[in-house]
Amino acid sequence: MTDDRSSTLSSLSTDLEAAVAAAATSTVRVDARRRLPASGIVWDPHVIVTAAHVLERDEDISVGLPNGDVAAAALAGRDAGSDIAVLRVPDVALDATDWSDDVAVGRIVVAVGRPGRDHEVALGIIRAIGGSWRARGGVPVEGYLRTDATMYPGFSGGPLADASGRILGMNTSRYATDDGFTVPTMAARPIIEALLRDGQIRPAYIGVASQTVALTEAVAGSLPGVFAGQGSGLLVAGVEPGTPSDAAGLLQGDVIVGLAGQPIRDTDELMAELLPGRVGEALPVLVVRGGASQELSITPVDRPEEAAGQQGRAHRHGDRGGRRFGRG
C-alpha cells in the first residue's frame, strides 16, 4: 500500500511538473510599471495578454521571454472593466500553449507568474465558478474563477493552468486580494478579440433611456415562456432619434421585458446582453405595450463616443427614489 501511495504521489508530482513547464513556456514578464514587474500570457506568436492594471505606461513596454531575452511590446488595447490588456510583440515569435474552457470546481490548478527572470508557481484548486459580472463602467464579463492558489506579487496577468498545462484564464489581483481571482478563457476570449480588432471595448448600443419598473401580477402572468412571472422590466423613458430603438419602433412608455430570448428585469441585465459581439445582429426584443406583450426586432450598433459618456453619467447620477436609470 505504501509503495502504491508513493507511486501515485510521484506520478502526480511528475504530471504537475510537466503542466508547470508547459504553462511557463507561454508566461512572460511584463515591465510597464515602476515597481515589481508583472506577468503575461502568450495568446498567439505575436500577441500577449496581461492585466490592464499593471500597465502604468502605454509606451516603452518590454517583456521578458522564457529564454531570458527581452523584447519590445506595443499596447494594442486595454479594457479596465475586465482588467484585460493585449500587447503586440512584432519582432519575435513566441510559443503559445493551448487555452481551454474546461473548468470544474475541485480541479487542481497552478497559478504561474514570471515577475523576475524565472517563473514561479502556486498550487491550488478551483473553489468556485461564478457567473456574469461587470465592473463599474465596464462591459459584462461572462464568468470568473476563484481558487485557493496564492497570487504572489507579480502574478497578475499570468495564467491559471490545469494539470495538463492548458491555460484556463488570466489571473488578476485587482478584484480580490484574499485569494485567486481569474478571468476564464471563455470570458476573456471575446474581449481579447475585440481589443485586437478595435483597440477598445465599446458595448453594443440601442439608444434608449430606461428605468426599472415593477410589473403587475396580471401582466407578469401573461408573459410568454421564460418571461412568465418576472416581477419587473425596463420602462422606456426616452428613445433617441435615428437609433436602433427608434428604427425598431420602440415607444416611450413601452416596458422592455426580454432581449435575445433572455429576461430583462433591470439595467444590468440589459447591459449584459449588449455585448460588442451583438453589433449588427438582429435581436428579438419583447415589450409590454398597453398591457399586452409584443415582439419587435432590434439591431444594435457600435456605441458612439458621446453615448459612452452619457452612459457613465447615467450610472453615476441615476438613483432617484430607488429607481435606476441607464442607457442601453
* Residue 198, all three cell numbers: 478595435
Catalytic, out of 31, 83, 162, 266: 83
Is 101 assigned a catalytic role?
no
Cα 22 to chain centroid distance, Å, stands at 25
Cβ contacts of 59 within 8 Å, gap of 6 or more: 75
Is 26 assigned a catalytic role?
no
Catalytic, out of 26, 31, 53, 82: 53
Helices (H) and strands (E) in the chain, counts: 6, 22
d(CA 40, CA 62): 11
Cβ contacts of 273 within 8 Å, gap of 6 or more: 259, 260, 262, 264, 283
Catalytic, out of 156, 173, 210, 245: 156
Tracing cell 495578454 back to the chain, one arrives at 49
- DSSP string computed for 189-245: HHHHHHHHHHSS---EE--EEEEEEEPPHHHHHHS-GGGTT--EEEEEEEE-TTSHH
d(CA 101, CA 119): 24
* Residue 178, all three cell numbers: 484574499
Is 83 assigned a catalytic role?
yes
Alpha helices in the chain (DSSP H): 2-24, 185-198, 217-222, 244-248, 267-273, 305-316
d(CA 277, CA 301): 10
Which residues are the active-site residues? 53, 83, 156
